[in-house]
Structure 1
Amino acid sequence: MKVEINWKKGLLFEGITESGHSVKLDYVPDGKTSEGPAPMEVFLVSAGVCSGMDVVDILRKMKKDIKEFKIVIDGKRRKEFPRIFTDVEYNYFINGYNLNSSDVEKAINLSFEKYCSIIAMIREKVNVSYSLKML
């Protein structure tokens, strides 16, 4: 996998993926307007989508009908540099027609233990946990 990163101005960068998609990332002090999310915000979004794709794919293979699905991630970072995440909590909210919590828990656990590459990369240094709320 290869990406290209181009500096635009200030701390604004544009990343271009191998598949041709682009994303702007920016960082400005609190209260100022930015032109894109900060890198650590994008990391959490990617971490959520990584697991979310797994969960949806697994539940579909189980012939489950998902009506509504949301993940809220709470990431805590240490104060000193580098300001890495120390804790990442996934909060899953899901609703469907033939869903039960045990099937959803199974899908989440498979994502956490087998499929999500981001969780696999961070779990040795970061406390990664989750909660589930059936809607």
Structure 2
Amino acid sequence: MKVNLKRLNSNYLFETKNERGDVVLLDNKSEDEPKGSSPMDLILRGIAGCSSIDVVMILKKQKYELEDLQVEVEGFREDGAIPNVFKKIHLYFKLKGEVPSAKAMRAVKLSMDKYCSVSKMLEKAAEITYEVNLNGEKVD
């Protein structure tokens, strides 16, 4: 896996490109109108994407197809700390479809506890918690 970064302006706007040619813009959130995500924002996007891929894959293998999957991720940092790393990350999974609640919860749990590489890497530095909602109802 390889990513290249190129500075695009005289401030903090960067273009990153992976080996497939996919482009993601990075910018500093202190800019008036940032034109890209911050690096810490990308970490939260990464855990949401990684776990969502796992959940879809696990449920597909069990012959369950989701109608919709959304994840809200919130990262909590210690104010004024340097470096200002995440101390806690919370994911809120919202699934929709004809899936038994136990299967939905198990898919999320397997992702977060075993398969999601991003989650496994980040858990060394931050407490990671999650909750699951299926068809508008909380799943325990």
Shorter-chain TM-score bucket reads over 0.9
> Match for residue 21 of structure 2?
20
Work out the CA distance in 1 between the residues paired with 2:94 and 2:100. 12
Moved segments of 4+, more than 4 Å: none
Work out the CA distance in 2 between the residues paired with 1:65 and 1:7. 41
Q: Give 1:65 deviation, angstroms.
A: 2.0
Work out the CA distance in 1 between the residues paired with 2:29 and 2:92. 28
Q: Give 1:124 deviation, angstroms.
A: 2.0
Does the Cα contact within 8 Å between 1:11 and 1:28 map onto a contact in 2?
Answer: no
Work out the CA distance in 1 between the residues paired with 2:24 and 2:68. 26
> Match for residue 71 of structure 1?
71
Work out the CA distance in 2 between the residues paired with 1:76 and 1:12. 24
Q: Give 1:37 deviation, angstroms.
A: 1.3
User: Which consecutive unaligned segments of at least 5 residues does structure 1 have?
Assistant: none
Q: Secondary structure at the match of 1:50?
A: helix
Q: Secondary structure at the match of 2:67?
A: strand
Corresponding letter in the other structure for 2:27: D
Q: Where do 1:5-84 residues align within 5 Å?
A: 5-9=5-9, 10-29=11-30, 32-79=32-79, 80-84=81-85
Corresponding letter in the other structure for 1:60: K
User: Which consecutive unaligned segments of at least 5 residues does structure 2 have?
Assistant: 136-140
Report % sequence identity.
Answer: 29
Work out the CA distance in 1 between the residues paired with 2:121 and 2:45. 15
**TM-score normalised by structure 2 residue count:** 0.90
Work out the CA distance in 1 between the residues paired with 2:2 and 2:101. 38
> Match for residue 138 of structure 2?
none
Q: Give 1:74 deviation, angstroms.
A: 0.9
Work out the CA distance in 1 between the residues paired with 2:20 and 2:114. 25
Structure-2 change in CA distance of 1:28 and 1:108 (3 Å): closer
- Show CA shifts across 1:18-67 (max 9, x none): 1111111101427x111111111111111100000000000011111211
Q: Give 1:133 deviation, angstroms.
A: 0.9
> Match for residue 130 of structure 1?
130
1:85 aligns with 2:63: no
- Show CA shifts across 1:88-119 (max 9, x none): 0010011102x121101111111112210011
1:118 aligns with 2:100: no
